[in-house]
Amino acid sequence: MATTTEIRDRAANDLGLLRLGQTLQSQDATRISSAYTEVYAMLKKDGLAAWTSTGDIPSEYVKYVIALVVDNCVNTYGVSDSRYQRLKIEVPGALREIRKLAAQDHASMEDPVDY
Q: Residue 16 and residue 95: Cα distance in Å, rounded?
A: 23
> pLDDT by residue (tens digit) across 17-28?
988 778 899 999
Q: Look at residue 37 and tell me whether its pLDDT is greater than 90.
A: yes
Q: What is the DSSP string of 49-74?
A: --S-TTSPBPHHHHHHHHHHHHHHHT
> pLDDT by residue (tens digit) across 64-111?
999 999 999 998 988 889 998 999 999 999 999 999 998 875 555 666
pLDDT tier at 33 (50, 70, 90 boundaries)? very high
In this structure, the number of other CB atoms found within 10 A of the CB of residue 114 comes to 3
Q: What is the pLDDT of residue 20?
A: 78
Q: What is the pLDDT of residue 115?
A: 58
Report helix, strand or coil for 2.
Answer: strand
> pLDDT by residue (tens digit) across 7-18?
999 999 999 998
Q: Which 8-state DSSP code applies to residue 115? A: -
Largest Cα span, the chain: 55
